[in-house]
Amino acid sequence: VGANVKDFSGHFQKCLTEYFGEKTKITSQDTSGYYIVEKDWFVYSPSRIDVGSINFLRDNGPVIVSPLDVVFSVDLNVIRPEYLLNVLKSNDGMFQILSHRQGIEGTGRKTLPFSEFAKINIPVPPLVVQDEVISILNQFLNLVNELTARQKQYGYYREKLLTFDIYGAIGDVDWRTLGDISSIKSGRNKERLTEGSYPVFGSTGIIARTNTSIYRHQQILIARVGANAGYVQLADGEYDVSDNTLIVDIDPKQNLKYLYYYLQNAKLNRFAKGGGQPLITAGQLKDLSVPVPSLEVQERLVHVLDNFDAICSDLNIGLPAEIEARKKQYEFYRDKLLTFDIASATISGQTDRQTDRQTDRRVD
C-alpha cells in the first residue's frame, strides 16, 4: 500500500475473526505497529485460534489489524482461501492447531506462533475440487444465514406488534401508568441454599434454592440493579425473589402475559442510573406509561406473540433448533468432505515467503 499506518487513524480496523467480525473504529493513538491486510489474506489470534479465531479478508482491502495478530497469505494458484479456512476449522484442522500450540512461560496460557502454524498438514486437491467443496458447504451456510435472517424478521414484527402511538394504534388504547395497574416491590429473600424445595429468582433467573416459598402465583420480575438492570422475566409456581429484583404484581383485570411482552420490549435499561451499579427504582416503573387495549385485544396479541416467542426463542422448536441442526449438518459434511486419503501437503512452503513479504509491509 505504501501508506503510513497512522494515515488510517480514525478509519476502519477489522479483526477478521468470528468474535470480531464487524468493522470497528481504531481508538489507539499509536498505530505504527499495526498490520496492513489485503484481500484474501488471513489473520488469526495466536492465543484464541483454538476456539476459531481465524478468518481471511473477503472484501477489498486494505484494512489494518492489531500487532498482536498474525497475518499471512497463500499462493492463490494452489489453494483457495475459503477452502483452507474450512480445513483449519474441521475436526482434523482443530486437532492439529491444538497439537502445535506452545505454552507461554510463566502463565497457564498457550499460543500458536506462525513457525508452528506453518507445520500444519493441509490436503491440497486440484482447484476444481476445492471449488466443488466450497460450493457444497456454502449451500449449508446459506441456509443457516437464511434462517437467521428469518429469525430477525420475526423479531422485527414482534416489536412492531407492541409499538403503539399515543392515539391508539390498535383500536382504542388507554394509556395508564404501570403503577395504576400493578403493585411493585422488591424481593426480600434471605435464605439461599444449594438444595431446596423452591427456586429463588434473581435478576436474570434462578440463582439458588430455598425451603420457604413466599409467592405462589405468576408474576413479572424486573432486575433493578447492576449490568442487567431492566431485564424482564416471568416467575411461576412456588418461589422466592432476591432483593436485587423488583416484583410487578399485575391487576387480575389485565392480561399479565401481554404486559410481560410489552415490558420486555420497552427497553427498561434506559431508565438505569448510576455508574458502577446502575439502578432502576420501583418509583420509575410506577410512573411508566403503558398502552392498555381491551382485554380481547390483549389476548389476541398474546396468542400471536406466544407463537413468535416459540419461533424465535425456544431452543427445542422453531428457528433456534432449526439453525442449530443446520450448523451441525454443515460441520458434519465439512469434516466428511475434507477427509482425504491422499498424502497431505504442508502450507509452510507456500506461506513462508508471504510472511516475509508481510513483515516488510508492517509500516513504521
pLDDT digits (tens, 9 = 90+) for 283-328: 999 999 999 998 998 998 898 888 777 766 654 555 566 667 777 7
Is residue 250 within 8 Å of 257, Cβ to Cβ? no
> Has residue 147 got a pLDDT over 60?
yes
Kindly write down the DSSP assignment for every residue of 235-285, as one continuous string. E-SSBEE-TTEEEEEE-TTS-HHHHHHHHHHT-GGGG-B-SSS-B--HHHH
The neighbour count for residue 271, using CB atoms within 10 Å, is: 17
pLDDT score recorded for residue 35: 81
| Segment 175-204 mean pLDDT | 94
Instruction: Give percent of the chain above pLDDT 70.
Output: 75
Tell me the pLDDT tens digit for each residue of 207-252.
999 999 999 999 999 999 988 999 999 999 999 999 999 999 999 9
- Res 157: pLDDT: 73
Beginning with the edge strand found earlier in the chain, give each strand of the sheet holding 54-56 in spatial order. Answer: 54-56, 42-44, 70-72
Instruction: pLDDT band for 347, please (50, 70, 90 cuts).
Output: very low
Q: What is the reported pLDDT for 62? A: 72
| pLDDT of 11 | 35
DSSP-assigned beta bridge partners for residue 186? 246
Residue 38 CA to residue 119 CA, distance in Å, equals 23
pLDDT winner (highest mean) among 134-143, 148-157, 332-341: 134-143
**Range from 62-71, 81-90, 218-227 carrying the lowest mean pLDDT:** 62-71
150 or 266, higher pLDDT: 266
Q: Binning pLDDT at 50, 70 and 90, where does residue 53 land?
A: confident
Instruction: Average the pLDDT over each of 106-120, 161-175, 205-219, 271-285 and give the range with the smallest value.
Output: 161-175
Q: 252 vs 92, which has greater pLDDT? A: 252
Q: Check residue 259 and give its pLDDT.
A: 95
Report the run of H or E that residue 182 belongs to, with start and end: strand 182-186
Tell me the pLDDT of the chain averaged across its residues.
78
The percentage of residues in the chain with a pLDDT greater than 90, rounded to a whole number, is 34
3-class SS shares of the chain: helix, strand, coil, % to 5: 40, 20, 40
pLDDT, position 287:
95
Cell of 112: 500458536
| Most confidently predicted of 87-91, 107-111, 117-121, 196-200 | 196-200
**How confident is the model at residue 319, as a pLDDT?**
59
- pLDDT at residue 183 is higher than 50: yes
pLDDT at residue 45 in the model: 85
Name the most confidently modeled range: 39-43, 100-104, 279-283.
279-283
Q: Is the separation of the CB atoms in 37 and 23 below 8 Å?
A: no
**Res. 56: pLDDT tops 50:** yes
More confident of the two residues 352 and 1: 352
